[in-house]
Structure formats: structure tokens, C-alpha cells
Chain A
Amino acid sequence: MSEEPSAPREQIIVDLEPGSEWRFELEADENIALRVLSPDPVFVNSEELPPATWYPIHRYTKGALYAPTQARVEVTSLPASQYTSTSTIHPQLLNVHLALERDRILAKRHLFGSGPSNGVERVERGPRVMIMGPPSSGKTTVVKNLVNLALSSGMGWTVGVGGLDPSSPSNLIPGTISLSTPSHPLPTHHLAHPFGSSPTSTPSNTLSADTPTVGWWLGGLEPTNRNAEVWKVLIERMGEDWKKRCVRDKMALASGLIVDTSSAFTNALLGTKKGDPKARYTLVAQAVEAFEIDTILVIGHEKLHIDLSRLPILQQRGINVIRIPKSGGVVDIDDTQRELIHSFQIRNYFYGEPPLPKELTGLLGKMVSVDGNLNPYSFQIGWETLVVLRVGEENSAPSSALPLGSSRILSPTRLTRVDPSGPAHVVRLLNTVLAIEQQEEEEDMEEVPFKEEIGTREVLGFIVITAIDTLKKKYTVLSPSPGKLPSTVAIAGSIEWVDSA
């Protein structure tokens, strides 16, 4: 910009007609801030924007403001790609929300015994919804909208969020699936952590952060036929933990669960085993069972809707399959974009929120509070100390290499210790993201590789191998927290990350 910094900025106003959306797609050099000048609420992903307060949105973010009533919004600069549209799916989402909200309230009245609601059916627990759809159909956005609608109703819900999409992780890094319980509406400032980030040592100012999260490591970006068995174990464990939580926490039970899923779920043959070739949507059915899902929202995909409605397993369980329209604002993301997002998410895990861009620092007027950066720590750790493992048959020889007639007897979730001494392994391990798995006290390090269960435990955090010293036999790792690692069992996956600013 040739503008002098001291020159008074020209006000750029976006006027929104009632019921319209202002959509923006920020490029690499575009950071904007916006503030609402009109009195009525304006929403970004159903989070109500604070009145007359600058709300920064970082580069690459694609999103939309929704104004149910006439609204006026000021932006610092107009993105190259921006337009208003009246074709919004918010009314449909609102109807879904009202239905969910009704179930939550009925469940709450039932669970907390605040008087029976006469004439209304009994609801014993909050709604458990799973959202499915093809890639780039806005699944995560729909989930976020529904979660935010629930969290801003003033009822104090703590809706569970199940992140079953490792390529678009809710709170952690790519390759993980997670359960979290946000309690405040989740803001949309940047690409990372659509459902709030996990706690840091300094309490966060943005409402999203400090979302209690528990995560599991898949190590891949989506469930495939090869890692399906690992996936199933992980989902089972997740489901169990969710059930346990609901036993302890009635509010969570009443608030319900909203599950984001991988687009791979739309593949009917995913997870189908040779022994049962006719099985369809195996992983969907398994997830439905694990979380006791009662409603499936299918975005756009008509065939998927029909398929699921007819699926015997789902019919038996009485699952309600509802098709909701795909938002017209959904942007197709290509591979480069996805990589960029993934890299950004991992960076965010280690370094925290991106710093406020220069062009947004000098704004006059109130700004929503922004969290500071985090400092990760780097140190060396010996090859012997850090037990790096891989999970599953992905890493074993293909079945075709087995002797004729013999079948694989190895468990699909077996662990393999990675020996970094081989030259190929050094290359493979460099820049690999490792998940630190919890390790029980009595476990002997020698036994670890033989305890399969370890591979599917919840993760405690992630480290990255940034350098390997073959002479000293040491890894240099980047760790989010200072001090020693909480455990020295680390699982490698296929996620890599190069720490470049």
C-alpha cells in the first residue's frame, strides 16, 4: 500500500441485507479485521461477533458472515474475493439446531429432574449427531455452526465434539482424532483448530482456547482399508471414554455429541473385509455404534443419503438420516491448500496463535483479545531412550510376499519398533511427527513393543524429529513443553512437518 501509515484509513463498509451472507476468501497476503457497526447480531459460523470490536481474520481463511437482519460491517480492507449472497443454509441449520436444542432441553429436564414435561415425549439424553459428506462439502463448518448455536443459547451446554476427521483435526494436529468439550462459542480467526485449541500454560483469552481435549493418534490423514483395524480400535476406545464421561457428567449427556467425520466415510466399501465382502459402510456403522449416534446429517450427497437410509444396521438402530443442503459458499480445497492448512495446524500446535499481522496492529478502537505465541522447546534425546513405534500392518510385508497358502497371523494393531540405525530409517524419521503415548508406570521399556494396546492409547502430545545425529545416536526433537517428555513411547505415522516460518 502506498498509503502513509498515519493517513486516516478510509472506512470500508459492507452492508448486509437481512438473511444474507458476506463471503470472503483470503489470499496469502490478505489479513483483515472487521467489526459490526449495526446493533443487531452478525454471526461468523454462528458465533455472534462482539459489537463494535475489531475481529481479526488471518490469511487463507475462507468464511462467511451471516446477518439475519439488516447489518453494517466495517472491514479494514476488501479481500480480492468477496461477495454477498442470499443463498445461505443458515435457516436450515437453525431448524436442525432447534430440533437438537429441544432434545437437549428435554434430556436436561429428564436428567436433572426439573419437572416432567407433560405431553412431550421422554428424551433421556442429548442428541448425538454425526455429519457426513464428500470432501469440501462443509462438514466441519456445519459442525461448528451447530456447536456454536448450542453454546450461545445461554443454557450452559457443554456439547461434546467428536473429531473423526484426521485431515481436519478439531483441536490437535493432522493425523489425530479427538473428543473435546468446548464451553464457549468458538471463534473463527484462522484455519487451525476449528473447535478450539488444547490448553496452554497461559490461560487463553480467546474463548476458543483451553478446550479440554483428549486425542488419539491415527497417524494418517484418513481411514483407509489398510489402517481400518487401527481406526476401529481407536473409535472403540473413544466411544468408551465418551460413555464414561457421560456417566460422570450429566450435563455432557444432556448436551449431546456432534461428530465431524472424514470424507472417506462416504466410501461405501471403506473398511470392508474380505471375509464379509457385502458389508457396506462398515466404519460408519462402527462409529454409530461406538458413540450411539441417533442422527446422521448428510450434506448434499443424495446417493449417500439414500444408501444410509436403507442400510440395515442403521435401520435396526432407528437412526434418523437427514439430508441438509450444501452451502453455496463452500470452497473446493485442492491438495496444495490442504497441505498448507495441515502445516499451519501443526505450527499452531507448537507456536500458538499466529501473531497479529502488521496491518492490523494499529487499528483504532477495541480489538477482541488475541492469544500470544507459544514457545516450543528443542532438545536432544538418545535413540535408545525414545522408543519410536509404528502401528499396524501398513508397515509389515504385504500379504503377497507371504509363502503360498499361509495367512497373516500377526495382529493388525501390532507394534514395530523403528530402528533408526538403518540409513533408510534416518531419512524416514526426519521431520516426522511423533505422538507421545501414555505409558504406564510398571511398563518395562523392553516390553513396550510387544504391548499392542499401547499403540492405540490416547496421546499426550506431539513432538517432531528435527534432526538426527547418527554419530551420537541422538534425535533432536521439538517439544511443545519444556522439560522432559511425559513418556518416551512415541508412535510415528505418515505425518511430516518442516518447521519453516
Chain B
Amino acid sequence: MSYQTYPYQQQPSAGGGGGYYVQPPHDPFRAYYADRLRQLTFNSRPIIQDLSMMAGAQRDQNNWDGMNAIVQEIEEATLRALPTQKLPLLYLIDSISKNIGAPYTTHLLPPIIPRLYLRTYREVDGVTKAKMEEMINLWRTGGPNRTELYGSGVREQIERDIFGTSYNHTNGMNMNGLPNLPSLPTVQQVKNAVQGALDKKQREAASKAWDMATGQQVNALTGILNLLNSTNVPPQELAQIMDQVKSMNGQPQSQPPQPQPQPQQVFTPMNQPVTPNWGVPPPQQAIPPFPPHSSRIPPPPAAGRPPFVPRPTPTPPQASLNTPLHMAGLTTPIPISNPVVPLPVQLPTMANLPIDVSKILNSLNQSGVVGQSKTPEPQAQPSTPTLSQGVQQKQQQQQKQQKSSLEEYEDMIIGLGVSLRSIDLNAPHILSLEHLPQRCKQCGMRFASDDNAKFQSHMDWHFRRNRKERESAGRGSHRRWLPRAEEWINDTYSSSSAEAGPSTNPMLNSPGKSASTTMTISAERLQQLREKWIKVPSSNAKANSVCPVCKESFVKEWSQDEEEWIWKNALNINGTIYHATCRAEQLSAMRRLKGSDPNKRSTSGSPRLTPQPSEQVKAETTNTTTSSPQMNVKRKAEEEGEAGGQKGDDEKMNDAVGSENKRIKVEQEQEQTTGSVAQSQPNRLGDNVTPVTVLSDIPKVQVKEVEVGVKVEQEEEKEKMDDQLASNLENSGIV
């Protein structure tokens, strides 16, 4: 084929799936075509033929990009051509339309032809004008089966503009003889309107495949269209249909010719991977909403080759009904917004209508096409934030549904009736996860859709873990001692918040509960904290402030009791406003940092502790475990030698890690004041325990060592801060 010889032609990727789209400005084919167009400065049959063939080739490949590009280039070329050189380009359009036909004649050209023709017509000289008039006259029967070349309306629109309203160039067969009667629409107008509505409904149906109502409407409209095409409908009934369809579209009664043609409204690629399938009517529900902004937008990448959709073309007897007056035009704009225009005309009494039409109207009514304007669709609601009550109700409804989704699962399992007593191991069951569509992005765990409480607590759990991990990074972690049986038995976290997981409440993980009670915030405490509130600050700057911990803004609420706007879960600490819960978590995190490791158990005062190595020895242990690797190595060596020099060694080490040591002493003092049982025991065994080394890898310890100095400082600072904040908290009445 000839198009294969085009050197620059990029094989379009519409069907390829994995390919990419060449953007229009860089489209080599487009550039090539534009080049060839520039050569069309005189009436050259070969060039016109060639360009037409290329247009045909694009159609054969079902390449909408290419076809769009061709039409745009032709239009641009025509507009910028010298007046004397415009005619060949119009002839090219004529040639493409007549030789290639659809989709150029149905989708691509009709939107641009009127303005293009009219603009050109005004610029060219008389001879050319005459030739253009000649051309447009031939369009009347230029289509297949001697139909209108560009469907309907296009030629009329042009003629109306060129020849004025009084000009009736047709065979003078105005059936009404009342050309100025606007109230009785023509078959054509009605068809256009119906077609427009149909297009819109089809798009709607495609975007909401589940919506049965829209599907019914599509069917009803298709029925009307078929009826209009096949029979003669009296003008009055036409008017009624027209009114209803208009009311459904929210379309003004008389539509001026569209000055800005919108090709995308007519151009409806199908969202189905169908092989090129010319002339076969497509399944109507499959039309996707077309991208509304740019006519250059290629068909959606996911779509296969969009098959071309032929419009029903008017049959000659109907064409005779045409009135060239007040045409709605082919380019009926299709309002995208929800139709809220009330019915302008009362519904006609069904009995008066011929049976077919009344049937249609009935079906229109039943399918909700007509009634729609009165009862706005429910799915319009969620997008309006003002309807908070409605939203709430909806959420509640969803929650109810959600609850029932897990319940449904329960019922389903019970309904299966698989019992251990009479089990058939080979029964063909499949594992259903359908009740758990929501997945955690971090770990892939599944949740019931909109079961937000569980999902949220799961995400919180991730968050806490990640934070804890960051906090303890570089510190080195270790396996905990196991819980005692009692602790495990009483560990009922799982019954209260099943999804929360083991780490939801770190308190439950640590063997020494008393050690960690100070570290975490209990549920009741959180609840208390959430009840804290402050007045919304009057100054604007403050009112826009965010919590310094979580960086989120505060939620304003109207307090009935206070008759004030308040922020819940908020605290004012020295002029800075925090979320009460964030603040508490931060504080507890600080305490955790401060009191982190190395020996929580000893601080717990747990009654099970028996005669233990003294605190002094414990401090030594701590020293050693956090001391430098060089020391450890040295230490090890000396141990292997003799035990004698140990004490001096210890002192040296204490010097080496002086600052660290201080901190530990502070801690020790604190511990002593807390009065652990262990300390009250006689110190019988103390000397027997001698710490040796940290068995972690040396490089790791080196990292630690670098950090130790910094950390000590940080922690001292934090302790200070912590204390200060604690007193603040006390002042503010939390603690």
C-alpha cells in the first residue's frame, strides 16, 4: 500500500499496548502531512489524491491520532493559505469526504467545516465563491446512497449563513410553509437532540457500568432514534420528544449555532479492544467519557483501536421535512453537568400520541430520563461538602454495610456448613478474600473495605513501629526476657483491639510491666487527652497554626457548653499549641529515650527479683556495654591474662566514658529513690558478677561510640526539656 512508503510515518501505538504516544507537535507523520499540504497551492489532482490516500491509510489503521492530525493540519493550512490558494484545500476536504468517508464525514470534519467554509467563503473572490457554492450543492447527495455528505445540519448551517434565512435553495418543499415557526422542531433537530442525549448517556453508562438506570435510558433513546429514522412522526410529537430530551439535557430551547466546534463531543472512540470493524454498530454502553479539554488528546491508551461509529444518516423522505430555520445544528453541545433544569413543558397526555411514540415516552419516563430533572441523582451528593449531614448518613450507611460485609462473611462460612464432624476434604471450595478488598500499602495485610477503625489502628501500629525503630537506630536491640505465665495470661489486648497487633501497646510486650507503664499512654489516658480543649485563638496567625509534633492543623468545633469555637485535643503550652495526644506521646517518647534500656527490669521493682548483683555492679555492666570497642578489646586481653588489674581497669574506663558515666550515676540515684526491691536485698552476690564485653561486631560498636557522646548531650538536653515540659504539663492540668 502506498502509505507504507511514507518515510516519516511513525507506526502508531494505539493497539500495541506497550508503545508510546508521539505527541502531536513532534509527530513526524503530522509534520510530513503538513509539508505535503504546503505543496497543494494549485488544483493538483495527484497531490489531492495522494493526501486523500494518506487520510484513508490512517483510517485503515484506525489511528485516531493521525486522522485528527490530518484534519487539524488541513484546517490550519486552509486558514493560512492565500485566498487564491484555498480552493484546492477545500477540494482536498471534499475528496477525503467523498472517497474516504467516515469517520471524517461523521466525526472529524463536521465540527470544523462550517467555520472553515464560512471564513474561506468570505475571503475568496467571486469565482472561487461560485465554485464553493457548487461544491456545497454537491454535498447534499455526496454521501453514500446519495445522502448528505456530512450527516445533517452542516450544509444547512453553512447555507443559512451564506444565503441568509430567506434563501431556500432546496426544492422548496417546506411542508409547513411556516418557516419561522420555532415551536415545531424538525425531525432533524429532534434527531440531533436525541443523538446528543444518547451520546451523553452512553458516556455516562460507560463510566458507571453498574448503573442500570443509565443503561435503560440509553436503550430508550436508541429506540426513539430508530423510530425517528424509520417513520414519519408528526411535528407535534416531535416537539414533545424534543422538549423531553431537552429537559433531560438541560438544554436551552433555541440553540444558536455553536461558534466553537468541539470535535471531542462528536468523536467517540470505543473503549473496547475490538479489531477494526467498519460499519458495525458498536455496543452502546461501551463509550467512555471523552476527555473534555483538548481535541488533540489521543484516545485513552488503554483502549484498543477504537472502531469507527457510523451515525445513522437521514433518509431522503425525512430530509424533505427539513426546515433551514433555527436549526439546532449538529454540534449540539452536550452539557456534562447534572441536569437540574426543570421540565419546561408539561408532559403530553400519552393517549393522544400515536402508539409508538407514547410507548417511547413511557419508556423514557420509566427509565428515569425524564424524571431525572426532578430528582437529582444520589451520586451527585457526596461531592457537595456542605451536605455534611447527608455525608454522615452515608458514612453510617457504609459502616452498616461494612459491618454486614464481615457478617456476610460469617454467614457465608456458616452457610457453607463445612463441619469437622462430616468433613469432605475434597469439597471444591475456594478461599474468598472478597470481603477484604483494602490492603495495607506497607505490609499487604487485608482489611474489610471502609473498616477504617481497624485499618487506622493498623497504620498507627506501623507508624509507631517505624518511629520506635528510628528512635532506637544505632542503639542496638536485643531479645527481651519472656513474660511470666501470669503476664501472658492477662495479656488481653487482643480481645479489645484485635487488629492492633502485638505492638499496638508496647506495654504489653515488655515482660516487666511496671517498667513500661510510664512509657506508654493507656487508652483511657488518650481518651482523657482527647477531651482537652482550648478556645480557638483570636489572632489569625495563631488560628492557622499547626501542631508542632504532627504538623497537622487543629479541627475547629462548636462547643455547645462554652458557646465558643474550640479546638479539641489541644493544649496551649507557653503559647505553643499542641495536640494533647501528640504532646503526651512526645513526652513519653522522651522518657523512653531517657530511661531506655539497658536494664529495665532492675528499675521495675518487680517482686520476683531475688538477691541480685548490686547496683554498683549493674552500673559497671552498663558502662561496659556502652564503652568503646578498643576498651573492650583491651579488656578482653587483660581478662585472659590475669584477674588482678581489673579494678584499675574499671576506673580507667570510667574516665574514658566520663560523661556517659555521669548520666548513669544520675539514673542510679533516681533508681535508688524509686526504691527497687532488688536494692533492699542484702548485697551478697555483687562481686561475683563481672561484666566482660559486648559481643556485637566491632564496627557496629564503633558507630555506637561515635554516637554515644552526641547522644549523652542530646539526652541531657532532652531530660531538661522533658522536666520543663512535665512541669508545664502539670501547670496546664494534664498530669
Question: By the criterion CB–CB under 8 Å, are A374 and B498 in contact?
Answer: no
Question: By the criterion CB–CB under 8 Å, are B688 and A251 in contact?
Answer: no
Q: Give Cα A372 to B509, complex, Å.
A: 18
Which residue of B has the minimal Cβ distance to A460?
B481
Whether a CB of chain B sits under 8 angstroms from the CB of A369 is yes
Whether a CB of chain A sits under 8 angstroms from the CB of B728 is no
For A, the interface residue count at a CB cutoff of 8 angstroms equals: 110
Which residue of A has the minimal Cβ distance to B677?
A441
Question: By the criterion CB–CB under 8 Å, are A120 and B478 in contact?
Answer: no
Question: By the criterion CB–CB under 8 Å, are B414 and A105 in contact?
Answer: yes
Is the contact region of chain B dominated by helix, strand, or loop, or is it mixed?
A: loop
Are A377 and B406 CB-contacts (below 8 A) given A94-B429, A201-B478, A202-B468?
A: no
| B86 CB to nearest chain A CB (Å) | 55
Which residue of B has the minimal Cβ distance to A55?
B444
Question: By the criterion CB–CB under 8 Å, are B410 and A105 in contact?
Answer: yes
Whether a CB of chain A sits under 8 angstroms from the CB of B46 is no
Are A251 and B495 CB-contacts (below 8 A) given A385-B689, A484-B618?
A: yes
**Chain B window 538-581, contacts with chain A (Cβ cutoff 8 Å), 1 for yes, 0 for no:** 00000000000000000000000000000000000000000000
Are A96 and B488 CB-contacts (below 8 A) given A102-B416, A181-B494, A212-B483?
A: no
Chain B residues closer than 8 Å to A244, beta-carbon distance: 489
Question: By the criterion CB–CB under 8 Å, are A98 and B413 in contact?
Answer: yes
Which residue of B has the minimal Cβ distance to A92?
B425
| A211 CB to nearest chain B CB (Å) | 6
Whether a CB of chain B sits under 8 angstroms from the CB of A62 is no
Chain B residues closer than 8 Å to A376, beta-carbon distance: 478-479, 695
Chain A residues closer than 8 Å to B431, beta-carbon distance: 41, 68, 94, 149
Whether a CB of chain B sits under 8 angstroms from the CB of A482 is yes
Which residue of A has the minimal Cβ distance to B600?
A483
Chain B residues closer than 8 Å to A53, beta-carbon distance: 444
Whether a CB of chain B sits under 8 angstroms from the CB of A85 is no
Chain A residues closer than 8 Å to B622, beta-carbon distance: 482-483
Are A441 and B607 CB-contacts (below 8 A) given A202-B468, A481-B480?
A: yes
Chain A residues closer than 8 Å to B427, beta-carbon distance: 95
Question: By the criterion CB–CB under 8 Å, are A484 and B621 in contact?
Answer: yes
Question: By the criterion CB–CB under 8 Å, are A380 and B689 in contact?
Answer: yes
Question: By the criterion CB–CB under 8 Å, are A99 and B418 in contact?
Answer: yes
- Chain B interface category by residue count: 35 or more
Chain B residues closer than 8 Å to A372, beta-carbon distance: 469, 477
Chain A residues closer than 8 Å to B612, beta-carbon distance: 484, 488
Question: By the criterion CB–CB under 8 Å, are A488 and B610 in contact?
Answer: yes
Interfacial residues of chain A within 407-454, with CB under 8 A of chain B in the complex:
436, 438-441, 443, 445
Whether a CB of chain A sits under 8 angstroms from the CB of B511 is yes
Select which of B409, B433, B618 is within 8 A of A48 by beta carbon: B433
Whether a CB of chain A sits under 8 angstroms from the CB of B608 is yes
| A402 CB to nearest chain B CB (Å) | 36
Select which of B472, B485, B501, B621 is within 8 A of A458 by beta carbon: B485
Chain B residues closer than 8 Å to A312, beta-carbon distance: none
Question: By the criterion CB–CB under 8 Å, are B477 and A200 in contact?
Answer: yes
Whether a CB of chain B sits under 8 angstroms from the CB of A311 is no
Q: Give Cα A380 to B636, complex, Å.
A: 12
Among the 9-residue stretches A6-14, A20-28, A154-162, A301-309, the one with 4 or more Cβ atoms under 8 Å from chain B is: A154-162
Question: By the criterion CB–CB under 8 Å, are A205 and B436 in contact?
Answer: no
Whether a CB of chain B sits under 8 angstroms from the CB of A384 is yes
Interfacial residues of chain B within 135-163, with CB under 8 A of chain A in the complex:
none
Whether a CB of chain A sits under 8 angstroms from the CB of B670 is no
Whether a CB of chain B sits under 8 angstroms from the CB of A478 is yes
Question: By the criterion CB–CB under 8 Å, are A375 and B599 in contact?
Answer: no
Whether a CB of chain B sits under 8 angstroms from the CB of A203 is yes
Whether a CB of chain B sits under 8 angstroms from the CB of A83 is no
Question: By the criterion CB–CB under 8 Å, are A199 and B414 in contact?
Answer: no
Whether a CB of chain B sits under 8 angstroms from the CB of A381 is yes
Interfacial residues of chain A within 189-245, with CB under 8 A of chain B in the complex:
198-205, 207, 210-215, 237, 241, 244-245
Are A98 and B416 CB-contacts (below 8 A) given A375-B695, A441-B608?
A: yes
Whether a CB of chain A sits under 8 angstroms from the CB of B446 is yes
Q: Give Cα A381 to B690, complex, Å.
A: 6
Whether a CB of chain A sits under 8 angstroms from the CB of B336 is no
Which residue of B has the minimal Cβ distance to A202?
B477
Whether a CB of chain A sits under 8 angstroms from the CB of B694 is yes
Question: By the criterion CB–CB under 8 Å, are A156 and B499 in contact?
Answer: yes
Chain B residues closer than 8 Å to A120, beta-carbon distance: 414
Are A201 and B494 CB-contacts (below 8 A) given A102-B419, A207-B445, A482-B598?
A: no
Whether a CB of chain B sits under 8 angstroms from the CB of A382 is yes
Which residue of A has the minimal Cβ distance to B503?
A203
Name the residue among A185, A214, A373 with the largest chain B CB count within 10 angstroms. A214
* 12 pairs, CB–CB < 8 Å, chain A vs chain B: A94-B429, A94-B430, A98-B413, A99-B418, A154-B446, A155-B410, A203-B506, A248-B490, A377-B625, A379-B621, A458-B484, A460-B511
A residues with CB within 8 A of B: 41, 48-51, 53, 68, 91-92, 94-96, 98-103, 105-106, 109, 117, 120, 127, 149, 152-158, 172, 179, 181-185, 198-205, 207, 210-215, 237, 241, 244-245, 248-252, 294-295, 320, 322, 324-325, 349-350, 352, 368-369, 372-382, 384-385, 436, 438-441, 443, 445, 458-461, 472, 474, 476, 478, 480-484, 486-488
B residues with CB within 8 A of A: 406, 409-410, 413-414, 416-421, 423-431, 433, 435-436, 439, 442-448, 451, 454, 464-466, 468-469, 472, 476-485, 488-492, 494-495, 498-499, 501-503, 506, 508-511, 597-599, 601-602, 607-613, 617-618, 621-622, 624-625, 643, 677, 685, 687-696, 700
Known: A100-B420, A241-B489, A482-B622. 19 other contacts (CB 8 A): A96-B420, A99-B418, A102-B417, A158-B494, A183-B494, A201-B478, A203-B503, A213-B482, A244-B489, A252-B495, A320-B421, A322-B423, A368-B443, A379-B691, A458-B482, A458-B484, A482-B598, A483-B599, A484-B613
